[in-house]
Structures are given as structure tokens and as C-alpha cells.
Structure 1
Amino acid sequence: MPYAGPIAVLPSRPLTVGELLDSAVLLLRGHAAALLPLAGVFALVEQVLLLPLRTAVGVNPPLWWAPSLGSLAPFLLLLAIGAAIEAMIIMLLGNPAARAAGSALVGRPISSQELLRPGGARWGATLLLCPVVGVTMLLASLLGPTWFVGFALLGAMAPALALDRVRPLRAPARSVTLALRVDGRAAGLRLLGYLVWWILRVGLAWGLFTGLSALDLISAGWAVAVAMLVWAAVNTVGYAALACLDAILHLETRIRTEGLDIHLSRAPAGAPQATLLAVGR
């Protein structure tokens, strides 16, 4: 595997859109051993939680789509709940992804084992705010287009906690502030990243399920289970990639608008990473 060191993952300078997307993929590739298993557990739990709702609404695999007009309202509720769970998963994965990105930026690579250790990771604060993200996205999704606003503004929640070390109550405002800087650049790029990975996830899930069906590899009565496993697999990669994009976007926005690169270049040698990347609480 080619070396994905700190310069390749996140250069200490503003990045183009293509470089941001590439950096997120490099970050995921470098820490796949930690991020993908965690994402896989979350993605599988998501499928299990959504199964009774999908059954009640009457949607069918592999796309869980095309409800009847009579079930349109329950179907929209199903979409909103799915969006809320999805946002919470991405936030939880954003904690280790942000710490991995921070380590790459300061030139102190972190192993997968270290990344999963709870010490200093601020998991408590992350878990505390996770329901806040879920409820916000649920309400935003129920209102339709406001989902775009909610998703665009909440990407920096986990990085603000894990890297900026802000107090939990300040993290939502910090996330919104960073997302809206430079004419909403980070907000727009988070939506772009989601769209790219949504297309990939839908295409892969539909293609895999259709291919297995065409080869007659799905026994009668197993279509739902196979679809759940397929979606869990593609979402595992998608959610981890989106968490990495959030981490890269967060640090790049700080470099672009707060002079984080200058601060790091002037920092004394040997300063702790938490001190180097923290902001005033």
C-alpha cells in the first residue's frame, strides 16, 4: 500500500475541492483498520433498527422505495428516522476520524489501536451531543428541504469536540460558524460529499443485489436479509468516508480562516497535539 503520511493526507495549506475529497479517501485508507469495523457495527445496527419500520411501511428491497400513496406519510417518517440515524453514525465516526486527521496534520501518525483507545478522546461529550444531532436531523428531515440545511451545518460537531476541545454546549455553534465561513464553503462541500457517496452507495447496493438475483444466489425468503447486509456493507464505507471528509473539511477550514497552519509552524517542538489544535473554550 502506498504511504499515506501526513503530507499526503492533509497538507498544511488551503485545498481544492478535488484535493479535499482525495484527502478524505487517503485518511480512510490509512485508518481503515479502526474506522471500518466501527462503521460496520453502526451500519448493521442501523439496518436492524430500520427493519420493523420498513416492514410496517411496506417497502421492498433492495432500494426500500416506491411506497403506495396510502403509505406516503409513514414512508416520509421512515426517511426522516433514517436520516437521523445516519447523521448520528457519521458524528460518532467523526470522533476517531478527526483525531486521525489531527495527528496527520501535526505529523504524528497514530495507530489504529491508539485511535480506538478512549483516553482523551472525549467520547463522553460526543455521546452526549449525538442525540442532539439526531433530533435536529429528524425535525429537519420532517420539514423536507431543511434536511439540506441541517446536514450542511452539523459536520464539525465531532471535530470541534475531539480537536478544538470546546465545551459540549459550544460545539453546535462552533460547527455552524465554521460551516458558514467563506460563503458557506464547508457547508456546500459537505453536501457535495454526501451526494457523491449517496450515488455510489445506491449504485453499489442496487448493483450487488441485482447481480446476486440474476445469478439466482438469493434463496426465497432471504431477499430482505441479503439487502440488509448489502446496504450495511456499502454504508460502512460511505459513513466512514463522510466522517473523514468532515474531519478534513474542519481542519482545512481552520487553516483557511483561522491560520491554523501558521499557528502550527510557530508552535514549540514537542507540544501536545491537544494543545496545538485546541481553541479557546
Structure 2
Amino acid sequence: MLDAGPTAVLPRRPLTVGELLDSAVLLLRGQAHVLVPVALVLTVAEQLLLHPLRQVASTGPPAWLVEFERFGVYWVLLAVGAATEAAIILLLGNPAARAAGAALLGRAAGARELLRPAGARWGATGLLAVLTGLLMGGLALLGPAWIVGFALLGAVAPALVVDRVHPLRAPLRATALAVRGGGRAGWIRLLGYLVWWIVRLGLGIGVHVGLNSLDLVDPAWAWWLSMAVWAGVNAVAYPALACLDAVLHLETRMRTEGLDIRLSRARAGTPETVLLAVMR
């Protein structure tokens, strides 16, 4: 299982920041037929959940901004959005991490493999998604604390399904990896979020404004159109962030734990789960 060179989804060596972003995009491109449809279901549910809260906060499409006197309600809306966002990215991180692990071993994981329940630890993933969502929602209420939480918890799903740690250890494992090397993984995750936030904002607002400028938006359907646009944009952005978490996790292990060396010395026929699991 040799490194396929610069076109490999995840070469077996430490990567630069640019290479990590490229690897995440390559992984997403290869698994879009699995990740994007699943993400679309989740983002539609997210938009439906946020819809009544937006009405209470008196926000309006496409940017969902609010007047100052309603800012308290709007802050709660933002916290709920942060919670659902974190939970969805973690759920998508389960198949994304397993796909990244397969790519590191020189093969492409199929849709059936990524979606089957056997050995995927979906129950623990769902529980951690709920707990992480609640934590991120609470941190979002505190403002800047959200930044710290987002930086530290990117590797929860990969730690669970690739490293095969106990579910209660997964957040601790994610935090430990995020702070290594001066917090390199945490900073890169924040950078990835910023990049995709700009893309999401541009598309989410731009498509609505463009259609409205052509007089193609019926005011009665403006809310639903904007919700559909945001669901579509997030259906790509959330899997992209999950893929970044997956490749960043494995790269951090190669950089700090010698995972690449361990794989090169592994005996032929060793099961993949054993190859990638954290050595105890």
C-alpha cells in the first residue's frame, strides 16, 4: 500500500495546511455521493427546527439579521444554530472518518461500507452528537467560549470510530490532539470553518439576492426559498468540515504519534481496525 503521491487523498506523511485543505476536498469529492445526501436530510431538519425560532426573533431572509431590541432572543437562536451545526458535523464525521481511514490504507470505501451499522458505532456517535451539540450551544451563549470549544472538539468522531476509544474518552482524546504542537489542529479547524463560513455566507445570501434582483422571488415564498438555499449550502459545507476533521485527525496522529511509521511496519493481513486503532 504505497503512497500514491500528490493526488492521494491522504498521503502517509505530515502535511502542510494547504495540503490538508486539499485532502479534505479530495475526500469530500470521492464520498460526496454518500455524505451530501445524508447531510441534506440533516440540514433540512436543521432549517425546520430554526424556522420557529427565527420567527420569534423577528429575523428575515436571507441573512436572518435582527433589530437590536430583539438581540437577546436572537442570541439564543445563534446558540441553537451552533448546537445543531456541531451535532450534524459530528454525525457526518462518522462516515467521513472511516472513509479517511480507508484512504490512508490505500483504498476507497464504498457507500454500503460507510452506511452499514455493523462496527460503525452509530449509537455512541449519536449520543456524542447530542452531548457535543448541547455543550457547543452552551458555549455559544458565552460568546468567545464557542471558539475554544469548536477548536478542541473536531476529532470526537474520528477518535471514536478510527481510534476505537471508549465513547467517554473520545472528547478527551479530541482535546488532547487539538492542543498538541501549540494547538495546530485546533487552529486549522478554525481556519477551515472560517473559509467555509465565508463560502456559506456568500452563497446563502448571494443566491437569494440574485434571484430577488431578477424579480423571481415571490415575497410569500421568500422564507422557504432562503431556507432551501441555506440547507443546500450547508449540505456541502458540513460534510466538507467533517472531512477536514477526519484528515486532520489522521495527519495529527502521523505528525505526533508516528502513525505512518506504524503502518509501514505492520504485518501483512493485519485487520484495518487494528492498524488504525490507538495502541493500548
Q: Which residue of 2 aligns with 1:64?
A: 64
Structure 1 residues 167 and 5 mapped into 2: Cα distance closer, same or farther (>3 Å)?
farther
Name the stretch that deviates more: 40-49 or 208-217: 208-217
CA contact (8 A) 2:99 2:108 kept: yes
Q: Does 1:181 align with 2:180?
A: yes
Report the CA distance between 1:6 and its aligned residue.
Answer: 9.9
Q: Which residue of 1 aligns with 2:144?
A: 145
One-letter identity of the residue aligned with 2:114: L
Q: Does 1:278 align with 2:270?
A: no
Q: Which residue of 2 aligns with 1:80?
A: 79
Q: Matches of 2:160 and 2:93 in 1, distance apart?
A: 10
Q: Matches of 2:29 and 2:68 in 1, distance apart?
A: 43
Query: Map of 1:10-159 to 2, 5 A cutoff?
Result: 10-65=10-65, 67-159=66-158
Q: Matches of 1:98 and 1:265 in 2, distance apart?
A: 20
Deviations 1:17-52 (A, max 9, x none): 100000000000001110000011111100000000
Q: Matches of 1:5 and 1:62 in 2, distance apart?
A: 43
Structure 1 runs not aligned, ≥5 long: none
Q: Matches of 2:11 and 2:39 in 1, distance apart?
A: 26
Give the secondary-structure state (helix, strand or coil) at the position aligned to 1:221: helix
Taking structure 1 as the reference length, the TM-score comes to 0.96
One-letter identity of the residue aligned with 1:12: R
Structure 2 runs not aligned, ≥5 long: none
Report the CA distance between 1:113 and its aligned residue.
Answer: 2.2
- Any runs of at least 4 consecutive aligned residues in structure 1 with deviations exceeding 2 A, and if so which? 4-7
Taking structure 2 as the reference length, the TM-score comes to 0.97
Q: CA RMSD in A?
A: 1.3
Q: Matches of 1:279 and 1:17 in 2, distance apart?
A: 24
CA contact (8 A) 1:91 1:158 kept: yes
CA contact (8 A) 2:97 2:247 kept: yes
One-letter identity of the residue aligned with 2:123: G
Deviations 1:3-22 (A, max 9, x none): x9996100000000100000
Report the CA distance between 1:280 and its aligned residue.
Answer: 4.0
Name the stretch that deviates more: 110-119 or 218-227: 110-119
Identity of aligned residues (%): 63
Q: Matches of 2:198 and 2:208 in 1, distance apart?
A: 15
Q: Matches of 1:24 and 1:32 in 2, distance apart?
A: 12
Q: Which residue of 1 aligns with 2:264?
A: 265
